[in-house]
């Protein structure tokens, strides 16, 4: 409040047109009663006053204090959505954008045409929309179209503590947009909401806000939580440890929900199954289906009612039904692509604990076990918000979605494995891998806090206090952990030439920015910096390269720059529809079901074996023969997309052939979106999405391979020739410019047996080995023609480029270069 006073002084000249109207909202009595219990309600006046008097306000409040659901309603009631502008709220997670829009619509008793959401591929926004929940990526795209965001009267950046890349960029951009808008008739308000008090990166940042925005702290009635540390820290089997701890709590401690934090879907399902085996859930006869499904959305309720009529005579519904849900792995929930719950490529052994089933539990109090993770179907997710069947104890096994995005009622015990799954990129090589690492102290405390929402609680940490002491204090901002070429291109397109000077809340490293700029120059998206002059001047020039017309076209495609380059080249030889399909397939993280995962039962095992064989067969079929085979994994993707859409893109087709239905639907949408984007940039080609696309001709396949090479030029690898192999580890290995160690073609790849001399790959994933994903064969002679920027034609000793082309026509890769081009020093591998 001190802050606010300080700010009143310079708020004088601001905002003449403050809304004074009060827009009534017709809420049901139950909703109203529940709202009044939320801590943020006590702060409504403070919040609204601060918003009126300041262009930007920061709100900090414990998870569950009502920020996400209530603040948009305050603004709506105060008339911020009645002057023609709308209230926009950004979320880093798609699941939050969708579920919060539904929740707020329900609370306000307004239709979804008014309280709507927009995520990357879908939404229900109409011209009547007043409150719009969206992912941060969606708003960033909108800024590109309309820098001043004229349609909005307020932008709320939610979950800012998560520090997702797009959130950070948005805050940087909005710090500039807000002052511009405040000079106009219709000002724009910015609210930043965070679940933690650590907001200095936003407030004490002269580059961002000259006057620090006021910070409103919402005092959540948090009950004390007793934290219990383990004496020892299990290094491997924390799932087993979590199992034992949960059993103990359930058998020995008084009633109250249990929330267990694990790192990924596979672990969640494994623990759910073990707990259900240990404490079989027998539905008490007093619980009817109707009761159990009590608090659900209108449409859902009608559906259930209809269903209930039909199944009335059945003794019980099958509560175990969800464990049979396909584990939808490898997808991304966030627009920016932090796949913190993704199990893609995970090689953590989830094998059963030998003690499984030995636990003699007291089955008299049933344990009602529910899984919770981002990619869980929304109906399944909604279950955690409802009271458990009477006489049972709720037990939710969750990934870190339950940390801040969603609040589960009635939790008294938290079991925290102390770990989190994160995607790591190697800054130099671009190799990505999923790793389970220790979480931060801030996250661990957030998790513990979940236990004290309704009464005093307990948090059991499955690690020692010494280990906790070694955790980093806070989680790093995502922007410091991933490549930034896409962001740099988007910023250049916004005419932010000196990206280094952008007011990032936390700036990415100079190396990451330099690498991004370098890649974009190689792709032709930015102008080549002058090669002459002093080293310092050159370095400076490299960080301020202006965007080229090609770069503008690329920036308008909603895909990463390498793929955007392919789209830009795609019109040759009528290849565009194929390029669009391939790029769409590459953008969606994984189109094939992961059939290599360990089976959960013997029955499933035999099914999996069958399906694996079927998928292998289909892969061979889709890869085609002869010329098309050389397009490799991308041909398989193209074949799969073509076949699936030919068959009408049905769940059955996907299920039968080992494709992820959700991925195929997303590809279909993305194909439409990319087709529109290409037509907008290049109207003369006029492509359309043909559901009955015929396979490419041999000539087109050659063309496609070249287009792919042009886009993935920095992902070129050369097979190590037999005579060069001194160390057996190089057998069948490939050499890439940036790595000491060999990389390999995955056994599932279409080119596993072919082993072409030169390949390009989509990405390298580190699992048991360094494996290239999305591999295509390229011809040696294309390399100097299509990638002159990466080739050197003189003496190999002086070669400043990764690839050396000798006069005899051989192309070699240098030893891993400490330089990338022209003496570029890159940082050491940092994990
Ligand atoms: P914050 O954003 O501060 O974390 P929220 O606004 O998300 O808080 O949540 C406020 C309250 O609303 C919480 O107690 C939560 O349990 C409840 N809530 C949120 N979504 C739902 C839902 N879909 N169904 C029932 N209750 C919900
Ligand atoms: Mg929230």
Mean pLDDT by 10 residues, the chain (831 residues): 47 49 90 93 95 95 92 96 94 86 95 93 90 94 90 96 89 94 89 88 86 90 88 81 94 94 90 90 43 37 42 25 21 36 29 34 76 78 86 92 82 95 68 80 91 90 92 86 88 84 89 89 86 61 79 85 89 86 89 80 86 90 88 94 91 91 88 86 73 86 90 90 79 86 93 93 89 92 79 61 60 42 22 18
**Looking at the predicted complex, does its ipTM rise above 0.95?**
yes
Read off φ and ψ for residue 760, nearest 5 degrees: -115, 150
pLDDT number for residue 542: 61
Ligand nearest to the CA of 162: 2
- The Cβ-side half-sphere exposure at 257, using a 13 Å CA radius, reads 28
Name the pairing type of β-strands 803-805 and 811-813: antiparallel
Residue with CA closest to ligand 1 atom 25: 385
Centre of ligand 1 to C-alpha 302, Å, is 23
Distance CA(747)–CA(775), nearest Å, equals: 12
Read off φ and ψ for residue 529, nearest 5 degrees: -75, 155
Residue 446: CB within 6 Å of ligand 1? no
Ligand nearest to the CA of 453: 1
Centre of ligand 2 to C-alpha 61, Å, is 9
Residue with CA closest to ligand 1 atom 18: 407
Name the pairing type of β-strands 411-416 and 257-261: parallel
Residue 246: partners with Cβ closer than 8 Å, 6 or more residues away: 258, 260, 271, 275, 395, 415
Residue 328: partners with Cβ closer than 8 Å, 6 or more residues away: 265, 375, 660, 662
Centre of ligand 2 to C-alpha 91, Å, is 9
Name the pairing type of β-strands 744-745 and 770-778: parallel
Question: Are 800 and 823 within 8 A, CB to CB?
Answer: yes
Nearest partner of 383 among 409, 364, 357, 421, judged by Cα: 409
Q: What is the number of the ligand 1 atom nearest to the C-alpha of 405? A: 4
Residue with CA closest to ligand 1 atom 23: 103
Give whole-number Cα distances, 190 to 51, 194, 214, 506, 724, in Å.
8, 13, 12, 19, 61
pLDDT number for residue 816: 38
Ligand nearest to the CA of 65: 1
Distance CA(19)–CA(330), nearest Å, equals: 46
The string over 257-291, giving b where at least 16 C-beta atoms fall within 10 Å of a residue's C-beta and e elsewhere, is: bbbbbbbbbbbbbbbbbbbbebbebebeeebebee
Residue 378: CB within 6 Å of ligand 1? no
| 123: three-class secondary structure by DSSP | strand
pLDDT number for residue 555: 85
Q: Please give the helix or strand (H or E) that residue 216 lies within, else none.
A: strand 215-218
Residue 64: CB within 6 Å of ligand 1? yes
Q: What is the number of the ligand 1 atom nearest to the C-alpha of 40? A: 3
Residue with CA closest to ligand 1 atom 7: 68
Q: Look at the alpha carbons of 645, 646, 651, 654 in this order and tell me if their dihedral is positive or negative.
A: negative
Return the CA Rg of the chain.
Answer: 28
Residue 453: CB within 6 Å of ligand 1? no
Count of CB atoms within 10 A of residue 709's CB? 24
Q: What angle separates helix 633-646 from helix 661-681, to the nearest 10 degrees?
A: 100
Distance CA(347)–CA(435), nearest Å, equals: 9
Ligand nearest to the CA of 100: 1
Residue 69: CB within 6 Å of ligand 1? yes
Centre of ligand 2 to C-alpha 453, Å, is 14
Distance CA(459)–CA(667), nearest Å, equals: 42
CA-angle at 739, arms to 734 and 744, nearest 5°: 30
Mutation pick for ligand 1 pocket among 407, 411, 447, 453 (CB with most ligand atoms within 8 Å): 407
Distance CA(374)–CA(404), nearest Å, equals: 12
Distance CA(804)–CA(38), nearest Å, equals: 66
Name the pairing type of β-strands 131-135 and 811-813: unpaired
Residue 407: CB within 6 Å of ligand 1? yes
Distance CA(229)–CA(138), nearest Å, equals: 41
The pair of structure tokens assigned to 410 is: 């009635």
Mutation pick for ligand 1 pocket among 40, 41, 64 (CB with most ligand atoms within 8 Å): 64
Q: Please give the helix or strand (H or E) that residue 132 lies within, else none.
A: strand 131-135
pLDDT number for residue 318: 23
Strand partners, 621: none
Q: Please give the helix or strand (H or E) that residue 191 lies within, else none.
A: strand 189-194
Mutation pick for ligand 1 pocket among 36, 40, 66, 218 (CB with most ligand atoms within 8 Å): 66
Read off φ and ψ for residue 145, nearest 5 degrees: -80, -40
Give whole-number Cα distances, 362 to 252, 278, 365, 366, in Å.
10, 9, 7, 9
Q: What is the number of the ligand 1 atom nearest to the C-alpha of 65? A: 3
Residue with CA closest to ligand 1 atom 5: 66
- H helical segments located in 598-684: 602-623, 633-646, 651-657, 661-681
Distance CA(198)–CA(205), nearest Å, equals: 13
Residue 63: CB within 6 Å of ligand 1? yes
Would the pTM count as exceeding 0.95? no
Centre of ligand 2 to C-alpha 710, Å, is 43
Question: Are 745 and 751 within 8 A, CB to CB?
Answer: yes
Residue with CA closest to ligand 1 atom 24: 385
Q: Please give the helix or strand (H or E) that residue 190 lies within, else none.
A: strand 189-194
Q: What is the number of the ligand 1 atom nearest to the C-alpha of 61? A: 3
Centre of ligand 1 to C-alpha 174, Å, is 27
Ligand nearest to the CA of 407: 1
């Amino acid at each position: 409040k001190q802050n606010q006073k300080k700010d009143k002084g310079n708020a004088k000249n601001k905002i003449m047109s403050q809304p004074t109207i009060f827009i009534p909202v017709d809420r049901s009595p139950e909703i109203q009663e529940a709202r009044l219990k939320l801590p943020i309600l006590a702060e409504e006046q403070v919040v609204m006053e601060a918003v009126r008097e300041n262009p930007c306000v920061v709100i900090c409040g414990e998870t569950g204090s009502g920020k996400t659901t209530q603040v948009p309603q305050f603004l709506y009631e105060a008339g911020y959505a009645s002057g023609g502008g709308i209230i926009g709220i950004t979320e880093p997670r798609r699941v939050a954008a969708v579920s919060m829009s539904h929740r707020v619509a329900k609370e306000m008793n307004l239709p979804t045409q008014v309280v709507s959401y927009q995520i990357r591929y879908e939404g229900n926004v109409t011209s009547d929309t007043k409150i719009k929940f969206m992912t941060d990526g969606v708003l960033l795209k909108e800024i590109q179209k309309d820098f001043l965001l004229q349609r909005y009267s307020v932008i709320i950046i939610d979950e800012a503590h998560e520090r997702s890349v797009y959130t950070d960029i948005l805050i940087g951009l909005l710090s500039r947009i807000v002052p511009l808008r405040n000079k106009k008739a219709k000002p724009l308000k910015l609210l930043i909401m965070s679940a933690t008090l650590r907001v200095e990166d936003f407030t004490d940042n002269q580059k961002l806000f000259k006057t620090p925005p006021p910070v409103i702290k919402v005092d959540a009635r948090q009950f004390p939580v007793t934290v219990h540390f383990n004496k020892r820290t299990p290094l491997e089997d924390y799932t087993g440890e979590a199992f034992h701890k949960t059993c103990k709590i359930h058998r020995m401690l008084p009633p109250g929900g249990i929330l267990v934090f694990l790192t990924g879907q596979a672990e969640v399902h494994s623990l759910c199954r073990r707990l259900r085996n240990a404490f079989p859930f027998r539905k008490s006869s007093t619980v009817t289906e109707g009761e159990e499904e009590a608090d659900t959305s209108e449409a859902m309720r009608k559906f259930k009612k209809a269903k209930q009529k039909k199944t009335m005579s059945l003794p019980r519904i099958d509560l175990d039904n969800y464990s049979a849900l396909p584990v939808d792995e490898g997808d991304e929930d966030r627009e920016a692509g932090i796949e913190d719950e993704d199990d893609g490529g995970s090689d953590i052994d989830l094998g059963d604990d030998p003690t499984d089933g030995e636990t003699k539990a007291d089955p008299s109090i049933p344990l009602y076990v529910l899984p919770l993770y981002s990619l869980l179907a929304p109906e399944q997710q909604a279950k955690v918000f409802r009271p458990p069947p009477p006489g049972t104890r709720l037990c939710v096994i969750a990934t870190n979605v339950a940390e801040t995005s969603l609040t589960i009622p009635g939790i008294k015990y938290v079991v925290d494995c102390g770990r989190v799954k994160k995607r790591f990129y190697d800054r130099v090589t671009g190799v990505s891998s999923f790793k389970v690492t220790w979480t931060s102290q801030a996250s661990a405390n957030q998790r513990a806090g979940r236990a004290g929402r309704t009464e005093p609680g307990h948090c059991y940490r499955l690690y020692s206090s010494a280990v906790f002491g070694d955790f980093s204090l806070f989680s790093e901002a995502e922007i410091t952990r991933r490549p930034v070429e896409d962001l740099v291109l988007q910023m250049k397109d916004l005419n932010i030439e000196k990206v280094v000077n952008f007011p990032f809340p936390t700036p990415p490293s100079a190396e990451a920015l330099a690498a991004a700029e370098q890649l974009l120059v190689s792709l032709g998206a930015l102008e080549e910096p002058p090669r002459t002059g002093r080293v310092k001047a050159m370095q400076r020039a490299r960080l301020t390269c202006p965007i080229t017309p090609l770069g503008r076209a690329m920036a308008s495609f909603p895909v990463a720059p390498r793929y955007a380059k392919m789209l830009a080249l795609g019109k040759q030889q009528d290849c565009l529809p194929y390029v669009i399909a391939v790029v769409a397939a590459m953008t969606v993280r994984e189109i094939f079901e992961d059939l290599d995962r360990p089976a959960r039962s013997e029955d499933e095992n035999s099914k999996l074996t069958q399906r694996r064989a079927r998928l292998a067969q289909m892969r061979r079929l889709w890869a085609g023969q002869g010329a098309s085979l050389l397009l490799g994994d991308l041909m398989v993707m193209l074949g799969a997309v073509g076949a699936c859409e030919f068959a009408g893109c049905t769940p059955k087709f996907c299920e039968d052939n080992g494709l992820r239905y959700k991925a195929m639907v997303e590809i279909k949408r993305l194909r439409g979106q990319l087709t529109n984007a290409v037509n907008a940039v290049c109207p003369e080609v006029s492509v359309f999405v043909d559901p009955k696309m015929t396979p490419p001709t041999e000539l087109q396949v050659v063309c496609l391979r070249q287009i792919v090479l042009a886009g993935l030029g920095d992902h070129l690898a050369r097979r190590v020739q037999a005579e060069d192999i001194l160390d057996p580890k190089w057998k069948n290995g490939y050499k890439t410019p940036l790595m000491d160690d060999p990389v390999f073609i995955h056994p599932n790849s279409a080119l596993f047996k072919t082993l072409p001399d030169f390949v390009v790959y989509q990405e390298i994933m580190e699992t048991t080995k360094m494996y290239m994903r999305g591999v295509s064969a390229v011809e040696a002679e294309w390399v100097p023609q299509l990638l002159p920027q990466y080739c050197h034609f003189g003496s190999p000793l002086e070669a400043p480029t990764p690839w050396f082309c000798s006069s005899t026509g051989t192309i070699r890769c240098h030893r891993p270069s400490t330089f990338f081009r022209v003496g570029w020093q890159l940082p050491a591998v940092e994990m």
